[in-house]
Amino acid sequence: MLTAVGRIAVTGSVAYDTIMVFPGHFRDHILPERTHLLNVSFQVEQLERRRGGTAANISYTLALLGERPLLCGAVGASDFDEYAAALEAAGVDTSHALRSAETGTATCYITTDLDDNQITAFFSGAMAHARNLDLRDLQDVSDVVVAADDPRGMARHVDECAALGARLTFAPAQQIPSMDDGVLQAGLRAAWLVVGNDYELEMIRERTGLTVSDLSAHATVAVTHGAAGSDLHTEDGVISVPAVPAGRVVDPTGAGDAYIAGLLAGFRREASLEAAGRLAATVASFVVEERGPQGHSFDATRVSERYEAAFGEAPAGLLGHGGAA
C-alpha cells in the first residue's frame, strides 16, 4: 500500500452525550399493564456531558496518532466553540466544520439505571444540515471517511470523495437502516476500506445481498467482534487480530471509532494488514478504560509498549507522523 501524503477528511456526526444515572431500577417504576398511560419521572444522582459523534471521535484518535484530520461535520454555531477548542488542542482541524445558526449541535440524552438499561432521546439538531457540507473545495485530501451521519449527507460525501480522487473509508454503522438501498450500495461499491461490527455487516448482507466475501473482492473489509477481536478480509484471504486487553473496562463507547482511526493510520504508514489491525486493536483498548469516547489519551511510547506486550514485537514505523500536513 502506498503511503498517503494528503490529509484525511472525516465526515460523520458531531454530538454531545448527556448521561444521567438513575440509582434504581426502571422496572420498579414502570407498570407493564399501564404503559399506555406512561408518566414517570426519575431523580438522577449523576449527570455528565461528554463529547461524542462518529466524526469527532475518529478525528480525535487520529490526532493522537499524529495526523491532522479535517473534521467535516455539521455543528451548532451557538454551542460548538468549547468543543472545537478541545479538538483543536488535540490536533484536529475544525475549520471546515459547518456551523449552523439555526440549531444546536446534535445531542443524545441517555438515562441509565443500575441494570444498565437505558432510555434514550436523540436530538439531531445541526446534524440534519450535513447534506449542505461541501468537500469539493478541500485541498490535498487523499482519504475521506464517511461515517454515520445524516443519510443525505453521507450520499453527497461518497460522491464528493470520488470527485476528489480520494480513497473512501465507509463506516455506515447505525445509519444502515436509515439509508436508501442505492446510497448504501454506492458507498460499498466505492469504498477502499469498509469497517463495521459483525451485526452491521449482517445488516448490510440482508439489505443488499452483498456478503463480506463479495465486498472483499474490491475492498479491505474490517469486521469487529468486540472482545473477540476483529477479522480483516481481502481478496487474498482473512487475517484475524485478537483484541488487546485493557487495564480496566469502564466504558466501551467509541472503541469502534478508535479502531477505525488506528486502522486507517496504520494503512497510511504502509503497514501490513496484520500490523494495521494490531495498531487498531491497541488504540481501541485505551478507549474502554475511560468514560466517554474522547476520555482517553496516549502518546507513542504508551501505544508502543502496549502493542509490544500484546503481540511480542514493536510497532516499527507505525507511530510516526503518517503524512499529515
Point out the residues that are catalytic: 257
Cβ atoms of residues 131 and 156 within 8 Å: yes
Q: List, in sequence order, every residue forming a beta bridge with 16; answer none if it has no partner.
A: 51, 107
CA distance 172 to 184: 8
Between strands 167-171 and 193-197, the pairing is: parallel
310-313 own/partner pairs: CB under 8 Å, 24+ apart: 310/242, 310/244, 310/245, 310/278, 310/281, 310/282, 311/278
CA distance 194 to 230: 13
CA distance 221 to 233: 5
DSSP state of 96: T
Residue 33, SS3 per DSSP: helix
Q: Quick one: cell of 38?
A: 406512561
42-45 own/partner pairs: CB under 8 Å, 24+ apart: 42/111, 44/20, 44/111, 45/21
Q: Which residue carries 486487553 as its cell?
A: 245
CA distance 229 to 110: 28
Q: Quick count: other Cβ atoms within 10 Å of Cβ 192?
A: 17
